[in-house]
Structure 1
Amino acid sequence: MNISPNYRSILADELKYCREKINAENDLKKKVFYYSSAYGMTRRIFNFEFDSQLQFIDFVLNTSYNVILGRINANMSGDNTIVISNDFFDELSKCLESLENRIRTDKDTYDVLEKIINLTFTIDGNGYYLVQKGIQVYK
């Protein structure tokens, strides 16, 4: 990623804080609230140092946030067809830790972002259906 070490450090620190808050929280709405800080920081950084990989990270984090928030809102409205478990957020936290480490060490993030998307797919209608059929969409 072609951003300064200072901004890489700021982003990695934000991901760490985000992950710690998600891990400490029990309320799903608050968990997703803290998750929003991840893409929030990517946006702040690329306002100063634009990079296409950073934009891709932002897109994945923002997209997954919106899917998770949508599922939580559906659950709160009474649609419990697909329920988000704490295991989901445990896996998301592991992904954020991996992403944080990759950013700190300036390593490629693609496979971690792919994991975040595949995890998010498990709470989407089609992804959940495939999981129910026994198809492993998240590894």
Structure 2
Amino acid sequence: MEGYVKKELVKELKNVSKRMLDEPELVKKLFYYSAAYGAVDRTMRYGFTKQLLMAHTILNVTYNAYKERLRAIAGGDAVVPLTIGQLDRTAELVRDLGDAFNKGIDVNGILADIMLLAYMSTGPGHYLNENGAFEGLI
């Protein structure tokens, strides 16, 4: 990834993170989160890498998982929660993702944690979380 393109991606991911962390409402946090995969998608058009593709895919899939959980909760299925803590930690990881891209370091660990946070919003993930499988993630 070249200078200007990298700089813009990092700036956008940090902005997404800040807006998510500043926002108190889950629905709006999720709205801002949707910009993360969009920024990565635009970046891939100027400088494709496998790490960008993986980041785009994981950010997109996790956004949709969170969106589905919010829909289910709005429909009365609140057994599996979606918490502010999950989305705030996701926001911090989006910031870390920007830092990793900026420094040219591996992003797999960050992306794995983003996936785990979203997995916690599923039935099996919530069950595992209640049994301590994701201790220390949030």
TM-score of the aligned structures, taking structure 1 as reference length: 0.91
Identity of aligned residues (%): 28
Superposed displacement of residue 48, structure 1: 2.5
Indicate which of 116, 132, 136 corresponds to 1:134: 132
Segments ≥4 residues shifted beyond 4 Å: none
What residue is the counterpart of 1:90 in the other structure?
88
Give runs of aligned pairs for residues 25-44 of structure 1, distance below 5 A: 25-44=23-42
Alignment of 1:1-139 (within 5 A): 3-136=1-134, 139=137
CA contact (8 A) 1:130 1:137 kept: no
* Mapped partners of 1:136, 1:51: distance in 2: 29
Aligned residues: 137
Calculate the TM-score normalised by the size of structure 2: 0.92
For 2:97 and 2:46, the matched residues in 1 are separated by 21
* Alignment root-mean-square deviation, CA: 1.4
Native 8 Å contact 1:42 1:58 kept in 2: yes
SS in 2 for 1:134: coil
Structure 1: which 5+ residue stretches go unaligned?
none
